[in-house]
Amino acid sequence: MKIKSGVQKIYIIYNQGADVMVKLSPMNLYQLLPKTNCKECGEQTCMAFAFKLVSRERELVECRPLMEDSKYAQQKKELEELLKPLEDATETGMIIYPERCVGCGNCVVACPVNVSEDPHGCAIGLGPKNDRVILRIVDGKVQAYNVSTCRRFGKNKILCNGCIVTCPTRAIEFAEG
C-alpha cells in the first residue's frame, strides 16, 4: 500500500469525524446492554429489547439490572448518550444532527416527496415554493416538516433512503429497528 502524503493523512483524520461516531442501531445498543437475557423487562432476549428501544416501544429504564447494578454504570451512561438523539426524532424515526449539516440542500432536492410536491422548486434544485415539502433548509440547517407524507411513515412504509445516501456528513439518520 502506498504511503499517504501529509495532506491526505490530515484529511482522512478530519473526514473520519462522521464515520467514527457510533451509529444508533440495535446491534450497537445490544453491545452495551447486560446481555444476560434475564427477561425482567418482559422481552425474551436483550437483543429483542434493543430492537424495541430503537423503535421507541420500550424505554431504557425498563432494564432493571442496568438501572440498579452499579457494575453497569458506565454502560448505562453510554446508552443514555446514544439514545439522546431519539428524543428529537420525528414520527418516522428521522434524526437530524444540525451540527453535521452544512445546508447543501442535497436531501431537499433528492427527496422523492419534495420532487412530486414541488416540481417547480425543489425538483429543479431551487428552494421550496410551497408548504407541502418534507425537508427544507432554515438558517443553513435542514429541518423536517409534514413527516406524515414521508415514504417511511405509517403501515405501508418503504425503506426510502433518498435523504441519507445524498448526505456525506451523515446529518440525517433513521432509527431502524
Can you read off the three cell numbers belonging to residue 102?
452544512
- Contacts of 105 by beta carbon, 8 Å cutoff, 6+ apart: 125, 127, 137
Q: 118 to 177, contacts with other proteins by CB under 8 A?
A: 119, 123-128, 136-141, 166, 168-169
Q: Hey, which residues between 40 and 99 contact other proteins (CB under 8 A)?
A: none
User: Shortest distance, CB of residue 88 to other proteins, whole angstroms?
Assistant: 19
State the minimum distance, in angstroms, from the CB of residue 96 to other proteins. Answer: 14
Is position 17 an interface residue for other proteins (rule: CB under 8 A)? no
Our CB check for other proteins shows the closer of 42 and 127 to be: 127
Q: How far apart are CB 109 and other proteins at their closest, in Å?
A: 4
Cell numbers standing for residue 164: 441519507
Measured between alpha carbons, how far is 85 from 150 in angstroms, rounded to an integer? 19
What are 136's strand-pairing partners? 143
Q: To the nearest whole angstrom, how small is the minimum distance from the Cβ of residue 82 to other proteins?
A: 24
Q: What is the DSSP letter of 153?
A: S
Of residues 24, 83, 94, 110, which one binds other proteins by CB under 8 A?
Answer: 110
User: Residue 3 has what DSSP assignment?
Assistant: P
Nearest 5°: phi and psi at 141? Answer: -130, 145
- Residue 22: phi and psi, rounded to 5, are -70, 130
Identify which of residues 42 and 168 has a Cβ nearer to other proteins in the complex.
168
Catalog residues that contact other proteins under the rule CB under 8 A.
5, 7-8, 11-12, 15, 101-106, 108-110, 115, 119, 123-128, 136-141, 166, 168-169
